[in-house]
Chain A
Amino acid sequence: MTAPGPSSAIAVSRELDRVMRADRGRLLAILAAGLRDLGLAEEVLHDAAISALAHWGRSGLPASPQAWLLQVARRKAIDRLRAAGRDGRKAQALAALTADEAAPDARDIPDERLRLIFACCHPALEPKSRVALTLRTVCGLTTPEIARAFLDAEATMGQRISRAKAKIAAAGIPFAVPEPEHWPERLETVLTTIYLIFTTGYVAGPQEPRDLCLEAEYLIRLVDRLRPGEAEIEGALAMMLLTGARRAARIGPDGASLPPGDQDRRLWDAARIAEGRAVLARAMERRRPGPFQIKAAIADCQMADPGPDWPQIAALYGALLRHEPTPVIRLNAAVALAEAGEQAQGLAIVETLGDSLWDYQPWHAARAALLAATGAPEAAAAAYREAIARAATPAEAMFLQARLARLAPS
Chain B
Amino acid sequence: MQYMLLIYNDPSLEPAYGTPAFTEMMGGYFAASARMKADGVLRGGEGLQGVETATSFRIKGGKVETMDGPFAETREHLGGYYIVDVPDLDAALTYAALIPSAHFGTIEVRPLMDYNPAS
On whether the two chains bind one another, the answer is yes
- Chain A residue at smallest Cβ distance from B117: A87
| Chain A: interface size category | 10 to 19
**By the criterion CB–CB under 8 Å, are A178 and B1 in contact?**
no
A171 at the interface (CB under 8 A from B): yes
What are 8 residue pairs bridging A and B, where the CB atoms are less than 8 Å apart in the complex?
A: A86-B117, A87-B117, A89-B1, A170-B111, A171-B111, A172-B92, A173-B89, A174-B90
Query: Are A182 and B90 CB-contacts (below 8 A) given A87-B117, A89-B1?
Result: yes
B87 at the interface (CB under 8 A from A): yes
Number of interface residues of B (CB under 8 A): 15
Query: Are A172 and B114 CB-contacts (below 8 A) given A124-B89, A178-B90?
Result: no
B89: chain A residues within 8 A (beta carbon): 122, 124, 171-174
Q: How far is the CA of A124 from the CA of B108 in the complex (A)?
A: 11
Residue of B3, B87, B114 touching A87 (CB-CB under 8 A): B114
By a beta-carbon cutoff of 8 Å, the part of chain B in contact with chain A is: 1, 3, 87-90, 92, 94, 110-111, 114, 116-119
Top 4 A-B residue pairs of the complex, sorted by shortest distance between their CB atoms: A87-B117, A174-B88, A172-B88, A172-B89
Residue of A88, A171, A178 touching B117 (CB-CB under 8 A): A88
Number of A-B contacts (CB under 8 A): 40
A169-204 near B? 1/0 per residue, CB < 8 Å: 011111010110110000000000000000000000
A306 at the interface (CB under 8 A from B): no
A209 at the interface (CB under 8 A from B): no
Query: Are A88 and B90 CB-contacts (below 8 A) given A171-B111, A172-B1, A172-B111?
Result: no
A85 at the interface (CB under 8 A from B): yes
By a beta-carbon cutoff of 8 Å, the part of chain A in contact with chain B is: 85-89, 122, 124, 170-174, 176, 178-179, 181-182
B90: chain A residues within 8 A (beta carbon): 173-174, 176, 178-179, 182
Given contacts A172-B88, A182-B90, 15 further A-B contacts (CB under 8 A): A87-B114, A87-B117, A88-B116, A170-B111, A172-B1, A172-B111, A173-B89, A173-B90, A174-B87, A174-B88, A174-B90, A178-B90, A179-B90, A179-B94, A181-B94
- Shortest distance between the CB of B109 and any CB in chain A (Å): 8
**By the criterion CB–CB under 8 Å, are B114 and A176 in contact?**
no
Q: How far is the CA of A88 from the CA of B94 in the complex (A)?
A: 23
B3: chain A residues within 8 A (beta carbon): 172
B94: chain A residues within 8 A (beta carbon): 179, 181-182
A170: chain B residues within 8 A (beta carbon): 111
- Shortest distance between the CB of B107 and any CB in chain A (Å): 13
